[in-house]
Amino acid sequence: MATLGTPTNTIEVLKKYNFNFQKKFGQNFLIDTHILEKIITASGVTKEDCVLEIGPGIGTMTQYLAENAREVVAVEIDKALIPILSDTLSEYDNVTIINEDILKVDVNRIVQEKNGGKAIKVIANLPYYITTPIIMGLFESDVPLESITIMVQKEVADRMQVGPGTKDYGALSLAVQYYAKPEVMIQVPPTCFMPKPSVGSTVIKLTRYEKPPVEADDEKFMFSLIRASFNQRRKTLVNGLTNATNLKTGKKDVLKALEEMKLPSAIRGEALTLAQFAELSNLLSLIGK
């Protein structure tokens, strides 16, 4: 099987299997070998690594991973792609294909079985609607992982990196920055995909911290506060937190914590840094959630 990352070879495979693109699965396949090589370099994958690839498509990136990593596990939701993947990856004995929705896969088990519980690297090129739940799921479930190299829409990459005072700042920025160091690696124009998407993409690498950059005594509680603050963006932090049905924080307690942090009582959640959310969460835990 020839290397797939060119328009001609991709079209040939798609025709052979009479493949129909599924919009609901966000199927845009890479057709640029330079970009594929750059993603491999950016991910830092070596022959020592076990890699989880989410959404292999017809196996374009998977072929590169099979050549560069020790072991590859590729999880693809679309069953129409499974016979294609068996064909395009038939030369490799270090690739396992799983036909499943990644959100239903027990990634911890894969890490145990394929890498003896040692940290894996994750590579993904996915539709936007699923990016946040996947990233958060991997981080929050404490899957042993070194890094996630992921292709996302440009705005999503911006959202992952920004701090307070920008319109893109939100729960995703704080969550990503609590668990990992985000680095923009490559800009990918629409012409590198088939079919051509309407917007450009960015490859961002999230390298997991061994220890988060701030100390939150109760991580779950801090993230409940963060979510509640950004659910009601136009409200003050005090109102956002006291209106949230899943929190038992009283208005007086939030005001007291803000006073202790020397922050104005009318401040909005979107003005707080990650360190300030951690401090607020620690103070409110002390006062009594």
**Binding residues vs ligand SAM (CB under 6 A):** 25-30, 54-57, 60-61, 75-78, 81, 101-103, 125-127, 130
Asked if residues 99 and 80 have their Cβ atoms less than 8 Å apart, the reply is: no
Asked if residues 263 and 276 have their Cβ atoms less than 8 Å apart, the reply is: yes
Which lies closer to ligand SAM via its Cβ, residue 107 or residue 130?
130
- 243 labelled binding-site residue: no
Which lies closer to ligand SAM via its Cβ, residue 26 or residue 200?
26
- 48 labelled binding-site residue: no
Provide the minimum distance between the beta carbon of 189 and ligand SAM in the complex, in angstroms, as a whole number: 14
Which lies closer to ligand SAM via its Cβ, residue 128 or residue 209?
128
Which lies closer to ligand SAM via its Cβ, residue 25 or residue 92?
25
- Strands 95-99 and 180-188, by their bridges, are unpaired
Instruction: Identify which of 115, 128, 135 has the alpha carbon closest to the alpha carbon of residue 175.
Output: 135
Phi, psi at 141, each rounded to 5°: -90, 10
Provide the minimum distance between the beta carbon of 272 and ligand SAM in the complex, in angstroms, as a whole number: 32
Provide the minimum distance between the beta carbon of 190 and ligand SAM in the complex, in angstroms, as a whole number: 12
CA 241 to chain centre: 27
Provide the minimum distance between the beta carbon of 78 and ligand SAM in the complex, in angstroms, as a whole number: 4
Which lies closer to ligand SAM via its Cβ, residue 127 or residue 212?
127
Which lies closer to ligand SAM via its Cβ, residue 186 or residue 284?
186
Q: Tell me how far apart the alpha carbons of residues 172 and 100 are, in angstroms, rounded to a whole number.
A: 25
Q: 3-state DSSP call for residue 103? A: helix
Asked if residues 183 and 204 have their Cβ atoms less than 8 Å apart, the reply is: yes
CA 260 to chain centre: 35
Provide the minimum distance between the beta carbon of 135 and ligand SAM in the complex, in angstroms, as a whole number: 13
Provide the minimum distance between the beta carbon of 120 and ligand SAM in the complex, in angstroms, as a whole number: 16
Provide the minimum distance between the beta carbon of 170 and ligand SAM in the complex, in angstroms, as a whole number: 22
Closest residue to ligand SAM, judged by C-beta, is 55
Asked if residues 25 and 19 have their Cβ atoms less than 8 Å apart, the reply is: no
> Which residue reads 């798609």 in tokens?
14
Which lies closer to ligand SAM via its Cβ, residue 79 or residue 211?
79
What residues contact residue 167 under an 8 Å CB cut-off, 6+ apart? none
- 30 labelled binding-site residue: yes
What residues contact residue 228 under an 8 Å CB cut-off, 6+ apart? 240, 241, 243, 244, 246, 247, 269
Beta bridge partners of 267: none
Q: Tell me how far apart the alpha carbons of residues 20 and 23 are, in angstroms, rounded to a whole number.
A: 9
- 55 labelled binding-site residue: yes
- Could you list the residues known to form a binding site, using ranges: 28, 30, 55, 76, 101, 125
- Could you list the residues known to form a binding site for S-adenosyl-L-methionine, using ranges: 28, 30, 55, 76, 101, 125
